[in-house]
Structure 1
Amino acid sequence: MTTIETPRSGKIGSGKVAPKYNRSGSSRGNFEMIAWLFMRLSGIVLVVLIFGHLFVNLLVGEGIHAIDFGFVAGKWADPFWQFWDLAMLWLAMLHGTNGVRTIINDYAEKDSTRFWLKMVLYAATLVIIILGTLVIFTFNPCPVVDGVQLPGGFCPAP
C-alpha cells in the first residue's frame, strides 16, 4: 500500500502547512472576506454600469458614428452621466486592483517583493482614480485661450 503525503505538509499525514508556505504577519481579520464580497458585488454593479454605458454610446441615436468630442462634451454636461462614469471608473479600478492584489499575494513568494509590487499597484490605482475624477469633473468643452474660444463648432458664441 502506498501512502500519499498531505499537500504542503512537512510530514506524512500531519495536515499542517510546511513552514516554507507560511506567511509572516498576523491574521488580517475579516479583510479577505470583505475583499471577496466586494469582488462579487462590484462585479454585479459593473455589469449594469458597463452595459448601460455601451447601450447609450453604441445603440442609441446614431450609434458609434456619433461618438466624438462633442458627444462626450454633451454627455458630461449632465451630472447624471458624470456620476455614472465616475462610478464606473472607481469600481473598475478598485475591482481590478483587488484582483491584481490577490494575484500578487498568490504568486509573489518573498515578503519584500509582495510589498513593492502592491505599492506600485496602489500608487498606479491612486493616480488613475485621481486623474480620471479630475477629467470627469473639470472637463470644459469650450475653453477660452487668450480670448480665442476653442475648439469651435458646437460651442456657443462668446
Structure 2
Amino acid sequence: MTTTPSAQVIPSPRDPYARRKTTRGNYELYSWVFMRASGVLLIVLIFGHLFVNLMVGEGVHRIDFAFVGGKWTSPFWQVWDLLMLWLAMFHGTNGVRTIINDYASRDLTRGILKTLLYLAFVITVALGTLVIFTFEPCPANADPALLASICFE
C-alpha cells in the first residue's frame, strides 16, 4: 500500500514520551505499588478514625474542642492522626502528579502545576504536623465549659 501526501499518519502512542529518556529507573513502578499499599493502610486508618469519632460513645454529638483536646493528649492518637495526614497527602499528591503527567502536554505547564502541587503538599503537611504536636488542650483564659476534662485533673 502506498501512501499519498494527503494520507494521515497516526503517530505511535508512545511518541510524546520518546523525547524523554527513562533515567528514573523504576520510579513509576514504586509509585504504583505505594498507591496500592497506602490505599489499604488509609482505609484502616480512616475507618478506625470514623469508628472512634462517630460510633463510640455519644457519636457525632460529642465532637467538640474538648473531645479533640482530650484525644490529642494521647501520643497514640497524635501518631494515628499524623499517619493519616501524611499518608493521605502523599497518596493524593502522587495521584495528582500522575494526572498532571498524563494530561499536561507542555513541559512548562507540567512544571508549574507540579510546583504548585508540591508547594501545597509541603504547606499542608507542615501546618498539619504543627497543629497535631503543638495543640494546647487547656488554653489559658478559655471558657471552662469548652475545655476537656483533663484540664481540671
Superposition TM-score, scaled by structure 2 size: 0.85
Measured after TM superposition, the shift of residue 7 of structure 1 is 6.2
For the residue of structure 2 that corresponds to 1:22, the secondary structure is helix
Aligned structure 1 segments of 4 or more residues deviating by more than 3 angstroms: 5-8
Query: Of the candidates 17, 23, 27, which is equivalent to residue 22 of structure 1?
Result: 17
Q: TM-score, normalised by structure 1?
A: 0.83
Higher helix share: 2
CA–CA separation in structure 2 for the residues paired with 1:73 and 1:137: 11
Tell me, yes or no, if the aligned pair for 1:142 and 1:151 is still in contact at 8 Å: no
Higher relative contact order, chain-length normalized (CA < 8 Å, sep 6+): 2
**5+ residue gaps, structure 1:** 10-15
Kindly report which structure 2 residues correspond to 1:32-71, keeping only aligned pairs within 5 A, or say none. 32-71=28-67
Partner deviation per Cα, 1:94-114 (whole Å, 9 max, x = no partner): 000000000000000001110
How far apart are 1:54 and its partner, in Å? 0.4
Q: Contact between 1:104 and 1:118, CA under 8 Å: does it hold in 2? A: yes
Q: How does 1:1-150 map to 2 (within 5 A)?
A: 8-9=11-12, 17-18=14-15, 21-22=16-17, 24-27=19-22, 28-144=24-140, 149-150=141-142
Identity %: 60
**Aligned CA-pair RMSD:** 2.1
The answer as to whether partners of 2:73 and 2:137 remain within 8 angstroms in 1 is no
Q: Tell me the amino acid that sits aligned with residue 83 of structure 1.
A: V
